[in-house]
Structures are given as structure tokens and as C-alpha cells.
């Protein structure tokens, strides 16, 4: 699946009083098979955190009712809850970050932030929390080792360009979910995107390596949206 816990969906609690930010985060994470709950103040968040088995909590620092530092301190010291916490804040000084970590936060993200970075940090927190150390990605008879960057299909070694390797890794990490064209272009070029449809050229080369020598295609185009990798064509 597109999350780090395999078939099980990742349950995330978003604690943020800005509803527009909540909706943007939720829309992005739900595309990646997360189950999202909300709290708009610290007191409601504490109730939800104590009564639900969340995999990770996204916590704003400035909250009505109970601020993020107080919430985190009570969650750790009083309730003894060890759910990973990613703290969001507009404050980016070292002192602010240290206070967040001292209160029990596991990671810290400064606003404004890219949703792709938020997703990557949540994946890392969940991976550490669940003790998942397997670096092998598998889709059908295709495997990729993220440590050695070796790719095999049906037992045959496949050599890829650096760009092809990055695209394949993202597609396999998100499988069978669709990865938007914009996300893949950002992955390769950040904000300095080349003229023309360079992404299509890289995907063509990747398909030549991954699909053409074999009986069934794994990389599928989702018209006007992006690409996915899976054994089926649904």
C-alpha cells in the first residue's frame, strides 16, 4: 500500500484550529490511504488521543483550550501515551524547537510547509514507531531494495537511470495508489521544471525497462491525473 504499515491504513489525528489547513492536509493524506480525524482545540484533541488508537498525531503549537506544548506534556507525562507527535508551528527558533522536543514531540515542521514533506515525515515516524526496517519494496514480481538500489523483475536484474530509480521508488512506495504528475515532477526537478513533457520521456524509459520485456505491464497511466504501479489495470 501507499503507507508504511502495509495493508493496514494509518490513522492520524490532526490537531489544528485553522480549518483550511486541516482540510488541505486531510485531502492530501487521504489520497495516500490515511484515515484522518480532527480536533480544533487541545482539550478535544486530548480526549480523542486517549480514546482512539492513532498511529501518529499532527499537532499545532498554538491552540485554544490547551496549547500544543501543554498537550504534549500531559500526553506523555500524565497519560503515558507514546503515539508519535509531529509538531507544527510558525516559530522556527532553536529555543522553540527545543521546547517542543522537551515536551515530548518526536518531530518538528515549520509553517508554511510542503505536503510532500509532511507525508514523508509521517511515514518516517510511523516506520520508527512500528519497528519496520524492511527495505524491500515489492509489487507483483518486481522488487526494489531501497538500501542497495537493486531492482529485479521475475528474478532478472534491471538497470535504471537515476531519474528512473527515483520515479520507480516513489511509485512502489505509494502502490497501488496513484501518484500525481505534479508530485513526480517535483520529485525530479523541485521548482525548476524543464520545458516540454520531460516526465513522459522518463516514464517511457522506465516502462521500457520494467514492462516491455515481460508479459504484463505494471506501470499504468491514470489519464489527466498521474501514474500508478500495480499488477492490475483498475
- 169 within some domain: yes
More reliable by pLDDT, 157 or 58: 58
- 2 within some domain: no
- Give mean pLDDT, residues 4-26: 82
172 in Cβ contact with 137 (< 8 Å) = yes
Instruction: Let me know whether 92 and 125 are in one domain.
Output: yes
- 167 within some domain: yes
Q: E strand or H helix at 75, and its extent?
A: none
- 46 within some domain: yes
CATH classification of the domain holding 198 = 1.10.10.10
| DSSP code for 85 | E
The tens digit of pLDDT for each residue in 169-221 reads: 999 988 889 999 999 999 999 877 777 789 999 999 999 999 999 989 999 99
Q: What pLDDT score was predicted for residue 132?
A: 46
Q: Which residues of 115-148 are buried (b: 16+ CB within 10 A; e: fewer)?
A: eeebbebbbbbbbebeeeeeeebebeebbbeeee
Range of the domain at 141: 136-229
User: Structurally, how many domains does the chain consist of?
Assistant: 2
Q: Which residues of 151-173 are buried (b: 16+ CB within 10 A; e: fewer)?
A: bebeeeebebeebbbbbbbbbbb
For the CA atoms of 113, 117, 123, 128, the dihedral, rounded to the nearest 10 degrees, stands at -90
The tens digit of pLDDT for each residue in 61-103 reads: 999 999 999 999 999 888 888 889 999 988 777 888 888 889 9
What pLDDT band is residue 128 in, cutting at 50, 70 and 90?
Answer: confident
29 in Cβ contact with 53 (< 8 Å) = no
Q: Which of 216, 197, 195, 194 is nearest to 207 (CA)?
A: 216
Three-state secondary structure call for residue 15: strand
Q: Please say which residue of 104, 129, 154 terminates a domain.
A: 129
What pLDDT band is residue 41 in, cutting at 50, 70 and 90?
Answer: very high
Grid coordinates in use for 27? 485531502
Tell me the HSE value of 55 on the side-chain side, using a 13 A CA sphere: 22
- 1 within some domain: no
Instruction: Let me know whether 219 and 158 are in one domain.
Output: yes
Q: What pLDDT score was predicted for residue 46?
A: 94
Please tell me the pTM assigned to this model. Answer: 0.55
Instruction: Let me know whether 110 and 145 are in one domain.
Output: no
Instruction: Let me know whether 207 and 163 are in one domain.
Output: yes
Could you give the CA distance from residue 57 to residue 106 in angstroms, rounded to a whole number?
10
Sequence-distant (6+) residues with CB within 8 A of 156 are: 213
**SS percent in the chain: helix, strand, coil, step 5:** 40, 20, 40
Peptide bond into 55 cis (omega under 30): no
Amino acid at each position: 500500500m501507499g503507507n508504511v504499515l502495509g495493508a493496514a491504513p494509518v490513522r492520524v489525528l490532526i490537531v489544528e484550529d485553522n480549518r483550511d489547513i486541516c482540510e488541505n492536509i486531510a485531502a492530501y493524506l487521504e489520497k495516500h490511504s490515511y484515515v484522518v480525524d480532527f480536533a480544533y482545540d487541545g482539550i478535544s484533541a486530548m480526549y480523542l488521543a486517549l480514546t482512539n488508537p492513532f498511529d501518529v498525531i499532527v499537532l499545532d503549537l498554538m491552540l485554544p483550550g490547551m496549547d500544543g506544548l501543554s498537550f504534549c506534556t500531559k500526553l506523555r507525562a500524565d497519560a503515558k501515551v507514546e503515539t508519535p507527535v509531529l509538531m507544527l508551528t510558525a516559530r522556527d527558533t532553536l529555543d522553540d524547537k527545543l521546547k517542543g522536543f522537551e515536551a515530548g514531540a518526536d518531530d518538528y515542521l515549520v509553517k508554511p510547509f510542503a505536503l510532500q514533506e509532511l507525508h514523508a515525515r509521517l511515514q518516517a515516524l510511523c516506520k520508527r514507531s512500528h519497528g519496520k526496517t524492511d527495505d524491500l519494496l515489492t509489487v507483483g514480481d518486481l522488487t526494489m531494495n531501497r538500501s542497495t538500489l537493486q531492482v529485479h523483475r521475475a528474478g532478472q536484474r534491471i538497470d535504471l537511470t537515476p531519474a528512473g530509480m527515483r520515479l520507480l521508488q516513489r511509485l512502489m512506495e505509494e502502490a497501488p495508489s496513484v501518484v500525481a504528475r505534479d508530485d513526480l515532477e517535483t520529485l525530479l526537478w523541485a521548482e525548476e521544471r524543464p520545458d516540454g513533457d520531460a516526465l513522459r520521456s522518463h516514464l517511457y524509459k522506465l516502462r521500457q525497462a520494467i514492462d516491455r520485456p515481460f508479459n504484463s505491464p505494471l506501470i499504468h497511466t491514470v489519464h489527466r491525473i498521474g501514474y500508478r504501479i500495480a499488477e492490475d489495470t483498475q
